[in-house]
Chains A and B, each alone.
Chain A
């Protein structure tokens, strides 16, 4: 990015701040810590509620709002495993992984072409890519459903209740954003590196594959993570194309359409399933925090 050119040189040591009248520094510090505590509490308290509720059993769990009151047990977890929640986890993992594996190479090629190669109408293509990120998934639901039905009737290719039936639209819907992020990253790599590779006798493809692609790894990682999260999150298409079959049903559909069985309100089971899917995703977010932030804010911040 070119932010350095805009930014005025920073003094070597921060200028001493003039103390403000009236407010002692420790009050300011305490307020800042309090503010952060509010942010953290905001983000995490539903998870405390979710975790405690998943452990509560018996009649109290449904009538007593105090989440700290027992009895506690792991019954709900056993019940969601009996219902086959592990298959939903597996399905989500497969769908998200395959979506990412198809989307990222395709988007990398497009991003490199848009950032570096001579193309007519590059600006227009980039603008259209940005517009395509706005695409509402509901516009795909009805026509794809019909196309899937007709393909089944004509050539016996059954895309309803299949992984492919979800992966195909997911790739189409994630390509624009992934392409946009990757274009930004490729543009940020100094052109001189590539040109010196060419001077040393590399072909344009070798310059891309051997020199630029490895340097763009952080951008590729960021785009891959966002694609993966989109695919684990998606509900509308998964719910329309694979609503009930546990062989393909993904986690959002399993949890979002959880039906009560008999008279018992399934609050414990829903929360247990939510905990089981939240833990890996939260770890994922915490570990890959830097990449995610880089991906989400690329383009949002002008250099």
Chain B
């Protein structure tokens, strides 16, 4: 590698750390931190998930907690809620976000201002956005019903409350998707469009054969972030419906057995299952696109 000369020179003068030593020292704090506060707890949780814990009594039950989950209707319900929420919200966010990105990319005035305003839903805490949307959907004062001219009980009816939660999430994160896709659009050379135009391509053809393929990296990153975020959603579900089964996601269901109905062994089994699901889905994305993503951050020399 290129850096081999520098540490020798430094050591010869005796005026500082060599690069190899410095590299290890620089990585130590973050490795220690993540090992202690992130990786250790996950293994601890796996260990605890083999016990039934009541107060200070612990009883080894092997895979008992996992078998309980397999016959627990509440667990399947939470998994189904999470699946519906993720598929619906991520696909809507993608379509609306792409539309917004194209609108902003076409604009000649006001793009800077719009790009600033699009950050506003992103920066507001999800729990706050959830309360605002919950009250907009609420029967009293009935704002959404008044706008739509409907008489729907958005917060009590299980199906409609899912629609409400998905709308709130789409509102908050479609602009975020738009921002990521807009950055992708800006890297596509305009010459390609001019050439396509000269060759007589329609607008739809230009979108289908130029924009979408070249936007692919940005699309995959946006989908990765959004899918993983939707799978681990807690805030909207809890603020909209508490622990009620109508909206409980996997995160809500696992957290429920921590304080609300303390059963720590089972809680750990549930959060371990959630962890495995989220990581598997994320890894499926990254293993397909990982080299492209990491390549961007990796040093130039290694990339070539």
Contact = CB atoms under 8 A, between A and B. Distances in A.
Contacts of A113: 22-24, 26-27
The prevalent SS among residues of A at the interface is helix
A132 B135 contact: no
22 contacts: A33-B107, A35-B106, A35-B107, A39-B100, A39-B103, A46-B136, A50-B132, A113-B26, A139-B272, A142-B271, A208-B22, A233-B126, A235-B127, A235-B238, A256-B128, A256-B238, A271-B135, A277-B124, A284-B123, A293-B115, A301-B183, A303-B296
Contact of B127 (A14, A107, A175, A253): A253
A93 interface: no
A214 to B, nearest CB: 17
A5 to B, nearest CB: 11
Contacts of B238: 235, 239, 256
Nearest to A124: B294
Nearest to B141: A65
B71 interface: no
Contacts of B271: 138-139, 141-143
Contacts, number: 364
B5 to A, nearest CB: 9
A8 B16 contact: no
B38 A235 contact: no
B278 interface: yes
The prevalent SS among residues of B at the interface is helix
A104 to B, nearest CB: 11
A3 interface: yes
A285 B116 contact: yes
A15 B190 CA distance: 10
Given A106-B30, A110-B27, A187 B3 contact: no
Nearest to A65: B146
B211 to A, nearest CB: 15
Interface in A177-216: 179-180, 183-184, 187, 191, 198, 203-206, 208
Interface residues of B, number: 126
A142 B27 contact: no
A175 B119 contact: no
B158 interface: no
B132 A131 contact: no
B153 interface: no
Given A18-B197, A136-B274, A278-B124, A286 B258 contact: no
Interface in B84-127: 100, 103-104, 106-110, 114-127
A139 B128 CA distance: 23
